[in-house]
Amino acid sequence: MIAIRELNIDLREFQVRDIDLHIAENEFFVLMGPTGAGKTVLLEAIAGLVPIKSGTILIGDQEVTRLPPEKRGTSLVYQDYALFPHLTVMENIIYGLHFHKMDKKQTKERFDQLMEVLDLSHLHHRLPTNLSGGEKQRVAVARALMIDPRVVLLDEPLSALDPGFREEVRNALRRLHQSSEATFLMVTHDFAEALSLGGRAAVMNSGRIEQVGTIEDIFQRPLSMFVADFVGMKNLFAVQFQGTRADAKGLEIELGRKSINSRGYLAIRPEDIVISRKALSSSMRNSFRGIVTGILDQGFYYEVHLLVGAVTFKSLITKRSLFELKLHEGAEVFFSFKASAVHSF
């Protein structure tokens, strides 16, 4: 459990203001926001690595605001891995054990479990320089979890990885979170990561928290323009995958590629959905006939809601298109989008 009350941080480059945040025991919490929003600073403040101006931080039931980093039971995983280059993989992983008194049997069990889940057994004696990005990050995760921390702080752990490795580390993180009692707090700007790992999330903007809630809430019911803009992808559906297709409440959507998971989410940016009065004979793989259920004025653009079966799509069109298409609520229209515009995770 992490509880942050009225936290303020004043660094030269960054300021963090009035943070109130409650993260439940064993939750996988995601911190999102643009670069420079103060996410890493908040993470390092929880770890005790940044001086804070005012406020309190509790981990478990203990107030840690004045404790040095080594007494807090928080482990860090950075985007750039931060492996100790002069130590072997094995020495990196057991580094924290030098400073913690632990039951030998439990330590051994945890070590074996981490080796298995993160698939590191064959790398023991290598030095970090000789590892791939995915391997490095798996070692960093193992090192963080080896001391059985109360809180695991992950700072964009997947951003530097190639897509293939990203999937692999993400799955390992999910498994480790499920089998551990620790609370996970991850910074990311990747929506796929946020959705596939996180339960709840917060969006930060220039040092403040804009919104806290379940990830689907944040995506579907943004409370501020900033969050709406930030999440961007307004079409978000829980789906089941079958081959190269996805089933969203009975509606079949073509992905153009196979998904390795059986369940997941689809996201489509509203501006990728093209509305027409007649059926388009184009190369777009997904074409539907729907009914306009709402038209919302958004300044330069209009957001058009389109209902097909039980699914509502949101499309963004210009004022001119709106007039040319003569759209009104209840109108029957065609709309389509490319398979490549569909993001799945």
Partner 1 sequence: MKREPFFWVSVSCGIVIMAFIILPLIQLLTSPSVEMLRESIGDKDVGRSIWLSIYTAGLAAVISFVLGTPLAYLLARSNFKGKRLVEGIIDLPIAIPHPVVGIAILSVAGRNHWFGQMLGELGIRIMGSVTGIVTVLTFVGIPFYLNATKAGFEAISPRLEKVSRSLGASMFSTFIRITFPLAWRSMLIGIIMCCARAISEFGAVVIVAYHPMIAPVLIYERFEAYGLKYSQPVAVWLVSISLILFLLLRILTLHKVEEQ
Residues lying near partner 1 in the complex (CB under 8 A): 12, 44, 47-49, 68-70, 72, 74-76, 78, 80, 82, 84-86, 95-96, 98-100, 127, 143-144, 147, 153
Residue type, 258: K
- Cα–Cα distance, 340 to 55 (Å, whole number): 46
Q: How far is the CB of 146 from partner 1 (least distance, A)?
A: 8
Q: How far is the CB of 134 from partner 1 (least distance, A)?
A: 19
| Cα Rg of the chain, angstroms | 23
Q: Which residue in 61, 25, 50 sits closest to 185, CA to CA?
A: 25
Query: Which residue, 176 or 192, is less far from partner 1 as judged by CB?
Result: 176
CA dist 4 and 62 (Å) reads: 12
**Residue 91 or residue 247: which is nearer to partner 1 going by CB?**
91
Beta bridge partners of 314: 305
Q: Which is nearer to partner 1, 96 or 270 (CB)?
A: 96
Least CB distance to partner 1 at residue 64 (A): 12
User: Which of 151/333 has CB closer to partner 1?
Assistant: 151
Q: Smallest distance from the beta carbon of 73 to partner 1, in angstroms?
A: 8
Residue 179 near residue 203 (C-beta atoms within 8 A): no
Q: Specify the DSSP element, H or E, that contains 213.
A: strand 208-214
Least distance in Å: CB of 120 to partner 1?
Answer: 17
User: CB pairs under 8 A, 24+ apart, for 206-210?
Assistant: 206/36, 206/37, 206/38, 207/9, 207/14, 207/15, 207/16, 207/17, 207/37, 207/38, 208/16, 208/17, 208/18, 208/19, 209/19, 209/20, 209/21, 210/33
CB nearer partner 1, residue 73 or residue 270: 73
Rounded to whole angstroms, the Cα distance separating 34 from 18 reads: 18
In the bound state with partner 1, the residue whose beta carbon lies nearer, of 41 and 268, is: 41
What is the closest distance, in whole angstroms, from the C-beta atom of residue 186 to partner 1 in the complex?
15
Nearer to partner 1, 44 or 193 (CB): 44
The secondary element (H helix, E strand) that includes residue 203 is strand 200-205
Contact between residue 317 and residue 304 where contact means Cβ atoms under 8 Å apart: yes
Q: Smallest gap, in angstroms, from Cβ of residue 157 to partner 1?
A: 13
